[in-house]
Amino acid sequence: MHDSVWFETQQIPAVFVASSAFAGAAQAQADALGLPDVRRVFVPHPIQDATDDEMRAKADAAVELIIAALTA
Amino acid sequence: MTALPSFVLADQAGGARRFPPGAPAVLCFVKEDCPTSNMVVPLLEALYRALDGAARVWLVGQEAVGNALLVDRYRLTAPMLDDSALRVSYVYAVEIIPTLVLADGEGREQGRLVGYRKDEWQALFAAAARLAGRDGPAIDWDAYPDWRPGCGSRTLEPGIAERLQAESANGPLRARRIDIAPGDDEFEFMFDQGLTDGLPVVPPTPERVLRMLTGTRRDSQQVVAVVPPNMAPATVEKVAANAVMAGCKPAYLPVVIAALEAVCTDEFNIHGVMATTWGASPCIVVNGPIRARLGMNPGVQALGSGNRANATIGRALKLILRNIGGAKPGGVERSTLASPAKYTMCFPEAQEASPWEPLHVERGFEHTDSVVTVFALEGPRGIADQISRTGHALAASFGLALESVWHPKVRPYGDVLLVVCPEHAETLRQDGWSKARVRERIQAVAARPLCDVLRSDECGEGVPAGRWGPGGPNAEQLKTLVPKFAAAGNIHIVVAGGQAGKFSAIFGGWVGGPAGSMPVSRRIDE
């Protein structure tokens, strides 16, 4: 989130990706850093025990959302 | 000559008296319960009558009721100004009553007397008459004593001094003031504002924060650290406010400051510690002479409750991380479970019960230094060993317990803290065991063959086989012993606890090394 905000303040579009369990944390941090609408994409939680194939599926499902967020 | 501060005060008739008045002036600060004030009031009345019109002679009284009594008692016609709010006394730096100030027509100070010495008062009355271009009053000075002591100004009374300093534009406080309605309960207000850890906090009134600031020589506006996750600058003043909230005494403030400096480093990585789902929290270990000066408890229940310094220093750091840094549970603070150590975790090492060098000396400081060392740790857990009589046997118990941190199969692991109780320390002393030897024994006992700690369907967690390439480890590698800790130095050892009980304790950590959190020590700047 800190990195996203830094990039955005340099006029470089940035999006961060996290698992859905961190949506609240992301908003709290975005609000605190003064950029409440920072671009974000959430993938289904959890990540820790996901297999490589499950991770690829999460990435495949998220890639269009990430592109859309960056080009919005 | 210094220009005196301007002011407007009401006299006994309710009229506004403005200083500077555009004429020479004599101001005398008095209070009714001061015998010397009572002695000089008639002298000032005489001076007022002699100089009236050409100079101002004003009494400045520090108590509304007392002022009225003085006016009646001496049938005063001279103006008695109401400074019961004490603001004028404060800005005039009045410490002793009576204080007599002579000002010229431009409001510049020409003379100041404190208490009563007859020769000085005679000289100042003569100087006032000269400034006014009048003859002074006819006073029988022989009827007065040569000398009388003054009394303390009300501005110096406990509570009042802090209030006046807090109200002063030149005071050390810059934080936003919040006024609470008279009908509001200030403790409930602090809860409603989301500024507590779930327990009540002491409301950080300006007076309390000023008292707290007496605990440090640092400037109130100096930035101690930039506190993650919100990267908020924590000034000494804001640290002091949180120390008040935690219940600290002013003498504890340097420890809180040192601990905050220590956690806000790249090595300690408080950002990660507070944001991780794991639930670690800063644990402060205090070494050196300050332990005794603050009355810290290294003995019975050292890791528990009951000692103000232990409890509130740790709590102050946690409140700073929450209220300044923004690490609020449910917000950026995401611990799955955490532990009561999130409220507070601070204790001093029982150096006197230790057979070894204390922690701070081990980490490169002098014995005479007072030092905080911060670790990112869970809550503590006990290790009972009431049987072992040798270092070899006892250190094995430590190793077996320490193997379980994070997960018994996960290795190599980072930093942990072993708290050796005095009875266990004595066993190790009698057997001549050094800390290094204890660490070696822990590493030996906690080591397991690789085949026992690999991830498997029997128990998912453990060492990933992929570390040995796509084919995993070979038969020979499966037999190799894998130590629990990356290095013996990851096992930090201090002594604490009551004299009775063969019960030590361990604290598990978080992620060690540069990607996680490493212990940091800071000398306490007293």
pLDDT tens digits, residue range B227-263?
A: 999 999 999 999 999 999 999 999 999 999 999 999 9
**Mutation for testing the B interface, residue in A4, A9, A19, A33 having most B CBs under 10 Å:** A33
Contact at CB, A25 and B332, closer than 8 angstroms: yes
**Would you call A25 and B331 a contact, using CB atoms and an 8 Å cutoff?**
yes
Pairing status of strand B281-287 against strand B346-348: parallel
Distant-in-sequence, close-in-space partners of B185: CB < 8 Å, separation ≥ 6: none
Distance of CA B1 to the CA centre of its chain: 40
The closest CB to that of B326, out of A22, A24, A32, belongs to: A32
Model confidence at A1, in pLDDT bands (50, 70, 90)?
Answer: confident
Please list every residue in chain A whose beta carbon sits closer than 8 Å to the beta carbon of residue B332: 25, 28-29, 32
Residue carrying structure tokens 């369907």: B457
Least confident range from B113-117, B175-179, B313-317, B336-340: namely B175-179
Q: Which residue of B has its CA nearest to A48?
A: B461
Q: For the sheet with B346-348, list strands across it.
A: B346-348, B281-287, B371-377, B520-523
- Using the beta-carbon criterion (under 8 Å), do A29 and B331 form an inter-chain contact? yes
Residue type, B376: A
Confidence label for B439 from pLDDT (cuts 50, 70 and 90):
very high
Least Cα separation, residue A29 to chain B (angstroms): 6
Give the model's pLDDT for residue A51. Answer: 92
What pLDDT score does B448 carry?
98
Tally Cβ neighbours within 10 Å of residue B67: 24
Q: Do B231 and A2 touch (CB under 8 A)?
A: yes
Q: Which of B231, B332, B460 sits opposite A28 (nearest CB)?
A: B332
Closest to B408 (Cα-Cα) out of B398, B400, B396, B419: B400
The model's confidence at residue B172, banded by pLDDT at 50, 70 and 90, is confident
pLDDT at B375 over 90: yes
Asked if the Cβ–Cβ distance from A2 to B330 is below 8 Å, we say no
- Residue numbers in B near A2 (CB within 8 A): 229, 231
Query: How many residues in chain B?
Result: 526
Residues of A whose CB is below 8 A from B229:
2, 29, 32
Residue of B nearest to A30 (CA): B230
Q: With beta carbons under 8 A apart, name residues in chain B contacting A29.
A: 229-230, 326, 331-332
Closest residue in chain B to residue A31, using alpha carbons only? B230
Reported residue count of chain A is 72
Per the prediction, chain B carries an average pLDDT of 96
Q: Does B332 touch chain A (CB under 8 A)?
A: yes
Q: Which residue of B has its CA nearest to A21?
A: B334
Predicted pLDDT at B268:
98
Give the A-side interface with B, CB within 8 Å.
2, 22, 24-25, 28-29, 32-33, 49
Q: What is the per-residue pLDDT for B165?
A: 82
Q: What angle do CA B143, B146, B149 make, to 5 degrees?
A: 115
* Residues B440-499: tens digit of each pLDDT: 999 999 999 999 999 999 999 999 999 999 999 999 999 999 999 999 999 999 999 999
Residue B143 has a pLDDT of 95
Mean pLDDT of B179-206: 95
Split at pLDDT 50, 70, 90, the class of B168 is confident
Q: What is the DSSP string of B282-350?
A: EEEEEESTHHHHTT---STTTTSSS-HHHHHHHHHHHHHHHHTT---BTTTB--SS--GGGT--EEE--
- For residue B377, list its beta bridge partners: B281
Determine the pLDDT at residue B1.
Answer: 66
Reported as a pLDDT band with limits 50, 70 and 90, residue B161 is confident
pLDDT band at B21; cut points 50, 70, 90: very high
Rounded to a whole number of angstroms, the CA Rg of chain B reads: 33
Q: Chain B residues with CB inside 8 Å of A49's CB?
A: 460
Question: Hey, is the C-beta of B206 within 8 angstroms of any chain A C-beta?
Answer: no
- A54: which residues sit within 8 A by CB, 6+ positions away? none
- Which residues of chain B have a CB within 8 Å of the CB of A25? 275, 331-332, 334
**For residue B225, what pLDDT is reported?**
98
To test the contact with chain A by mutation, choose from B226, B227, B230 the residue with the greatest count of A C-beta atoms within 10 A, namely B230
The answer to whether residues B510 and B276 touch, using CB atoms and an 8 Å cutoff, is: yes
Query: Does B170 have pLDDT greater than 80?
Result: no
Task: Determine how β-strand B223-227 pairs with β-strand B281-287.
Answer: unpaired
Amino acid at B52: D
Q: Which of B230, B328, B331 sits opposite A33 (nearest CB)?
A: B230
Indicate if the pLDDT at residue B53 is higher than 90. no
| Residue A61, min C-alpha distance to chain B (Å) | 25
Confidence of residue B432 (pLDDT cuts 50, 70, 90): very high
Tokens in use for B112?
A: 């100041």
**A5 vs B contacts (CB less than 8 Å):** none
CB contact under 8 A, A25 and B328: no
Per residue in A19-65, pLDDT tens? 999 999 999 999 988 999 999 999 999 998 999 999 999 999 999 99
Taking CA–CA distances from A26, the nearest residue in chain B reads B332
- Residue B494's H or E segment, with its range, is strand B491-495
pTM above 0.85, yes or no: no
Return the pLDDT at B419: 98
> Which of B324, B332, B457 has the most A C-beta neighbours within 10 Å, making it the best mutation to test the interface with A?
B332
